[in-house]
Every structure is written in structure tokens, then in C-alpha cells.
Structure 1
Amino acid sequence: MILSIVLTCLLALIFSVLGTAGALALPKMREKAAETGFSVAAYRRIGVLQIAGAVGVALGPAVPLLGGLAGAGLLLLLAGAAVVHLRKGDGMAELTPATVCAVLVAAYLAVLFTWSR
């Protein structure tokens, strides 16, 4: 149960912070958008999706289906991030955050559906 709480809080924090920075188009996020070839508007939409994922993950222990859908959505966003990094020819340093977050989301989903049974 403690693992579930830790993963839920960690993922909600990570994706709410990243999503808010993207949705507000903070200067660092504008730079990232330009580096990856996204418009600022597209980066804002990704930020909104990250915030939605964070909310869904946070509600997951109470509503497992919602948490599962949110986790799946975040995994899709992270897969997209990995594809962007690979297409850009980025090294492991740039790919590692998306990979670590994907592992955390996968662990969250495993714990969520094991715990909710």
C-alpha cells in the first residue's frame, strides 16, 4: 500500500509540474518546443494532457479504471517523447527521463491493478 501511495504522489507531482510548465509555455518549455520542432501551441496541449494524466493518476486509488486510463495515456505520451528523442538523435542523457517516468508509470499500473483486486 505504501508503494502505491509513493508512486501515485510521485507521478502526480512530476506530471503536474511538467504539465503546468508546458501549459503556461514557460521560457524553458518554449525552448524545448523549438528544439523538438513542436509549436508552442502543441507543447501547451501536451502540457494539458500531462496535467489530466496527473489528475487521473491521483484519483486512481479511488477510481482504478480512471487511474488505469490515465496511466495508459501517460505511457503513450512518454512513448511519443522517446520517439522524438530518437528521431533527433539524442543520447541516453536526454532519453533517460522519459524512460524512468515510463518505468514509474508501468510500476504504478502494476501496483494499482494488483492492489485494487
Structure 2
Amino acid sequence: MYIAAAILSVLLAVVTLGAGAPKALLKGDVPAMLQSHLGLSAGLVRFIGLAEIAAAVGLVVGLFWQPLGIAAALGFTVVMVGAVGFHAKAGDYADAKTRGNAMAPIILTVLSIATAVTLVLAM
């Protein structure tokens, strides 16, 4: 079970780091879209990016100390549930043009829960 936990942790860490870095730096299209379309402040976007980076670090360190990996996966789950809520509030799931981008938090929520579960089972 540890191999599955390690694969999921690394996969989620890479995706999380890739998603969090532009938000923390406020660079690129995603932070601008979050500010304009969802109405988030620059400070909140940066905070979300830093939380995602912290989750990525926690997932990697969690390969060696699993309680931290579990906490990081569950913390990232909370961030993604919040993202789903913001996308739902903005009506992104009803609009065919924005539905594709809004599905990422749902997929990442499932992936982070699966990572937490496998880390628990690998202990």
C-alpha cells in the first residue's frame, strides 16, 4: 500500500505545486481569472497559492513521516472544497465555457482524499 501512497503523494504534490506557484507569485492567467471572474482579492489568491505550496511540501515530507502527509492531503482537500464552492457560486458548472476549468477542483478533491486514505492504510 505504501507504493500506491507514494505515487499518489508525488502526483498530487507535483500538481499542487504547479497550481500554487503562479497563484503565490500572482503571475499568469489563473490568478487574474480568480481575481476578475471569481472576485477574489490579490491577497486571498496569494494565500491560496501559498497553502497549495505548503500542501505540496507536506505531501513530499509525508512520504517519510506519514502523519504530515495525511494532514497535507486533508488540508488540500479543504482548499479544493472551497474552490468547488466558489466555482458553484460563480455559476461555472452551469456554463459550458467555464465548466472544464471548474472540474479541476472536483478531480483534485477526489485525488487528495484518495491520497489521504492510502497514506492512512500504509501506516
Matched-pair identity in %: 28
Q: Any idea what SS the aligned residue of 2:47 has?
A: helix
Other-structure match for 1:59: 61
User: Aligned ranges for residues 18-29 of structure 1 at < 5 Å?
Assistant: 18-28=19-29, 29=31
Q: Which runs of 5+ in 1 are unaligned?
A: none
TM-score (norm 2): 0.88
Rounded to whole Å, the distance in 1 between the matches of 2:103 and 2:61 is 27
Rounded to whole Å, the distance in 2 between the matches of 1:12 and 1:88 is 27
Q: What letter matches 2:10 in structure 1? A: C
Is contact 1:58–1:67 with CA below 8 Å preserved after alignment? yes
Moved more, 2-11 or 70-79: 2-11
Is contact 1:85–1:94 with CA below 8 Å preserved after alignment? no
Moved more, 89-98 or 37-46: 89-98
Q: What letter matches 1:67 in structure 2? A: G
Q: What letter matches 2:41 in structure 1? A: S
Q: What letter matches 1:52 in structure 2? A: A
Instruction: Give the RMSD, CA atoms, in angstroms.
Output: 1.2
Provide Cα deviations, 1:2-57, integer angstroms capped at 9, x if missing partner. Answer: 32222111111011111111011013122322211101121011100000011111
TM-score (norm 1): 0.92
